[in-house]
Amino acid sequence: MRYNFLFLLLLLLASCYEEASIQVTNKVHNVRMDKIQLGEIGIGSELMPGESTKKLTISEFTEDITFPITAPLQFYMVKGENTVFLKTKNSYTLYADDELQIIISDSTEVVNSATE
């Protein structure tokens, strides 16, 4: 009986926390994306052209965050020996229960924070 109560309590606590998922696709020709983040949340690394990250499920319970999360996508763009840190000009918002798919292409507007 005691274990049933603990199980129900844990189930109740876990159900109070919300979650969402995010996936990023690299459609930029001839460059690799590396160390991809939305705000402080690491999404993936070493994403070649045409590849997508695995769908990442983010939970308030495990990530110490609160939905919604609004931030630009930030990443390193790598071509050969050249690397530059970029952020998207637009911010993305990840709401609870959302499945956000971000596609970075040649036409995505980005800024180099070193030149801002």
Q: Residue 16: its pLDDT value, please?
A: 62
| Rounded CA separation 11/50 (Å) | 39
pTM score, whole prediction: 0.83
User: Cα–Cα distance between 61 and 26 in angstroms, integer?
Assistant: 29
Instruction: Write down the mean pLDDT value for the chain.
Output: 88
| 7-59 tens-digit pLDDT | 555 544 555 678 899 999 999 999 999 999 999 999 999 999 999 999 999 98
Residue 61: phi, psi to the nearest 5? -70, -40
Handedness of CA 62, 87, 107, 83 (dihedral sign): negative
* Rounded alpha-carbon distances, angstroms, from residue 110 to 11, 49, 68, 81, 86: 42, 17, 22, 20, 6
Note the pLDDT of residue 18: 87
- Chain centroid to Cα 56, Å, comes to 7
One-letter amino acid of 68: P
Assign a CATH topology to domain 18-115.
Immunoglobulin-like (2.60.40)
Burial (0-12, 13-18, 19+ Cβ within 10 Å), 106:
exposed
